[in-house]
Amino acid sequence: MQKFHTVVIGGGASGLVSGISAKRAGNSIVILERLPVAGKKLLACGGGRCNFLNEKIDESYFNPSARELIRSAFSRFGKIGILRFFEELGLHYYSEQGRIFPVTNQASSVLKVLELELKKLDVPVELGFEVADITSSRQGFLVISSTNKRVICDKIILAAGGRSYPALGSNGSCYKFCRDFGHRVIAPVPSAVPIEISDKSCHFLQGQKIFVCAKSLINGKISSQAAGELLFTRYGLSGTAILDISQDLSIALNRQTGDRAEVLVDLVPFIEEPDLKSELALRVKKGFEPLNLLCGILPDKFGLAFGDLLKTKDPDSIAAELKHKIFKVIRTRGWNEAEFTCGGVDSSEVNFKSLESKFKKGLYFCGEILDVQGPRGGYNLAWAFSSGLIAGLTE
């Protein structure tokens, strides 16, 4: 049985950084990762480019319940602190429309500099260690694996992530231990996730991608909005615009249950509705066939998808549908397609300065296991790195 001062459970972004932070603070440390490799989810971030930070980063971009915690964390390790940390590791980076990427455009570069620093600090990373139980006594914590390996320590950092992309490491298995130590776990739901809809237009538009403005409607009221790509799929809708408004839809469908969730889409945001009506009226007057009324405005597939509507040759009805198309959401896609987890350990139950549990001395949290969510664009990785740096410090 091995004895360490600090055990980090989870070898993802926050776990690796917290391991570095703890070792630099002078503690004996081990990182326990259930997969055969560490940092697997990090490699998938930003489409493999790893958008690891944003030029505009503060608490206002995160869920309201976590903003006090975020404000505290970023006051210690915000954009400047995170960039300095990676600069010292030798990572070069650049900014693209406010999003910060490694200059190599490879997520593997971010993981590599972390791995090299862990090696330099002589931090052991034990792979294939799936935690089956955590117990505590006056002597500290005992961590037991599914194969009965045992590690004892004075301090535990839970950096096991949420439930998104379970094949990449985080499967929600550590929520149990959080509850065992008295913590409230706010029901996790998929976020930044495609949605399933029931609309015959998807049959015709499958694979079609256009730029739109999309709004989430919860019980008929606008909840969030975003401009970006809309991708029609065999099951429904995806693309950046949908991912960016999906959190409220997911909460309504998966946590609130009973709420009505819809998506309101402006399919032609580059034309004002009166101008669109005029353009369509002119085309009708010129004798355009219904199938061709949208030619040059939307891709040809839309002529088929909206065939019945176009046959009416009513400019007002057609324009209204294109500018205010409503899709009823049946459900979100599952955890294997969700970029983030919405939910987790109640952030009010941790010490904002240290990220230590208010209920159990020596138990710390960092990263996605906490109920902290930001939008796409480097915000969630910024939280992972900031919280990891803080959790690893000795108070």
Return the sign of the alpha-carbon dihedral for residues 285, 291, 293, 296: negative
**What are the pLDDT digits (tens) for 112-130?**
999 999 999 999 999 999 9
Q: Residues 160, 385, 348, 70: what is their CA dihedral angle, to the nearest 10 degrees?
A: -160
What pLDDT is attached to residue 343?
Answer: 97
Interatomic CA distance for residues 275 and 278, integer angstroms: 5
Which option is the CATH number for 2-190+339-391: 3.40.190.10, 3.40.640.10, 3.40.1010.10, 3.50.50.60? 3.50.50.60
Q: How far is CA 2 from the centre of its chain?
A: 35
The string of pLDDT tens digits covering residues 266-316 is: 999 999 999 999 999 999 999 999 999 999 999 999 999 999 999 999 999
Q: If residue 6 lies in a helix (H) or strand (E), which one and from where to where?
A: strand 2-9
Q: Within 10 A of 67 (CB to CB), how many other CB atoms are there?
A: 16
| DSSP three-state, residue 65 | helix
- Each residue's pLDDT tens digit, 206-234: 999 999 999 999 999 999 999 999 999 99
Buried b (16+ CB within 10 A) or exposed e, 111-139: bbbbbebbeeeebebbeebebeebeeeee
pLDDT value at residue 395: 61
4: enclosing H helix or E strand: strand 2-9
DSSP 214-255: EEEEETTEEEEEEEEEEEE-SSEEESHHHHHHHHHHHIIIII
Return the closest-CA partner of residue 23 out of 7, 1, 35. 7
Displacement of CA 90 from its chain's centroid (Å): 26
| Interval 121-145 mean pLDDT | 94
The full set of domain ranges for the chain reads: 2-190+339-391, 195-332
Lowest mean pLDDT among 76-85, 181-190, 195-204: 195-204
